[in-house]
C-alpha cells in the first residue's frame, strides 16, 4: 500500500508533502517514512494512505504532485 508522507520542520510552518512509501501496514509506513525522509529532524511527521486522499480542486489528484 502506498502512503504519502508529510512533515514540517518547524511548528510555525505548514505540513509539506515530502514523499511516499510502500508499506504493508501503518506501523511499517511509520518506520519507512522515518528511515527514508530523515534529511531533517522534523518536529512533526505523519503518513496518510494514498487511498484516503480525496482531491478537492478541479485538477486535484493523487499522487500528490510537487511534493
Partner 1 sequence: MTAVKDLTADQAERALIEKIQAGFTVESEEDMTPGYKKALLTQLTVQGDTELMSGPAYYLAARDAPTINSRIAVIAIVHDELGHANIAYRLMEDLGVDKRWLIYGREPHEFKHPYGFDQPLENWAEMVVANGFFDRAGICLLSDVHENTSYGPLRRALVKVDREEILHLRHGESWMRRLAKAGGEAREALQRAVDWMFPMTLEWFGLPDHLKRHSDQLVYRLKGKTNDQLRQTWMAATVPLCESIGIKVPAHYDAAKGEYVIDYPFPCQYDPEAKRWLFDEPITWDQVFERWKARGPMNQRYVEMIQGKADGLFGGRRW
Partner 2 sequence: MVTAESVWEVLEQVCDPEYPVNIVDLGMVYGIEVEGSAVRVRMTFTSIGCPAMEMLIQDVKGAISALPGVSEVRVDVVWTPPWTKERITERGRKLLAACGVAS
Partner 3 sequence: MVEIASGESLNAACRAALKNLLSAIADTKLLLGYHYGEWTFGTPVLEASIANCSLSQTELGHVRLLHGILKSHFDEDPERLLESRPPREMAGVEFLDRELPDWAAVVAATLVVDGALTLALHSMRESAFLPVRNVVDKMLEEERYHAHHGRGWFRALAGRGEAPRSTLKERVEAALRSVEIWWGPEGEPEDALLVSEGIKSRSNSELASQLRRDLAELAAACGVELELEGTAQFDGWDPRTRRRGDSSVNEEILYHMRGSKNQIFKLT
Task: Supply the DSSP symbol for 36.
Answer: H
How many Å separate Cα 20 from the centre of its chain? 6
Q: How far is the CB of 57 from partner 1 (least distance, A)?
A: 12
Give the footprint of partner 3 on residues 28-67 (CB under 8 A): 28, 30-32, 34-36, 38
Question: In this complex, which beta carbon is closest to partner 3, that of residue 40 or of residue 60?
Answer: 40
Three cell numbers, residue 36 = 527514508
The C-alpha atoms of residue 55 and residue 27 are separated, in whole angstroms, by 25
What is the contact surface with partner 3 in residues (CB under 8 A)? 21-25, 27-28, 30-32, 34-36, 38
Amino acid at each position: 500500500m502506498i502512503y504519502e508522507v508529510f512533515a514540517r520542520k518547524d511548528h510555525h510552518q505548514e505540513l509539506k508533502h515530502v514523499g511516499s512509501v510502500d508499506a504493508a501496514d501503518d506501523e511499517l509506513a511509520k518506520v519507512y517514512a522515518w528511515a527514508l525522509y530523515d534529511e531533517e529532524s522534523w518536529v512533526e511527521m505523519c503518513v496518510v494512505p494514498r487511498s484516503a486522499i480525496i482531491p478537492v480542486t478541479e485538477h486535484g489528484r493523487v499522487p500528490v504532485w510537487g511534493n
